[in-house]
Structure 1
């Protein structure tokens, strides 16, 4: 892959990483704020059981999104390492070339579509 292409992907990955880190930070603050409210003054306590369930669901949802985004950040970090090691764009499964169309859609993709499908099937 050309150096200009690698630099363009590196920039995209860095921007995506920064955005996801901001999202994770905001979700963590939201989860902490919700936990502080539940342990705080009685006036902030939900009155109905349904409200308690809604708050628990929202907190679980936020934690799930945080986990997914943290996984994406780890994948982005791995892609940035592959750029430094000059192996970016090479499938970690078959060692073939990952098509640019796939890298444009998922710039941190470590595998070609065929290998990714095979891994998901197992």
Structure 2
């Protein structure tokens, strides 16, 4: 009886370790996918934002240049390249969802999927 109990505990321990390993791997894959999607959307937004800011800056510069021409004033300095500014500083990376919050969300989601799967399996056998 004791040998059966020990072998059952060993089997359970192996199954739990395998489950935890698979769970960790899946959540790590989800983290990578999340980061890729988040980076894609944030960088795209900031590219569009930088383009709009550069166009606005160019329009202001042209308007100022025309006013200065009419008044024969000094010329303006070169416009700032907003697109390069955002690329160099990567300001959009600061807007990512924090790792702790992302981990919490993914862990909760995994648990929810696991509960739903267990419920389906239970319903299947009943």
Higher RCO (Cα < 8 Å, 6 or more apart): 2
Higher helix share: 2
Please, what TM-score do these two structures have when normalized by structure 2? Answer: 0.38
- The structure having more radius of gyration, on CA atoms, is 2
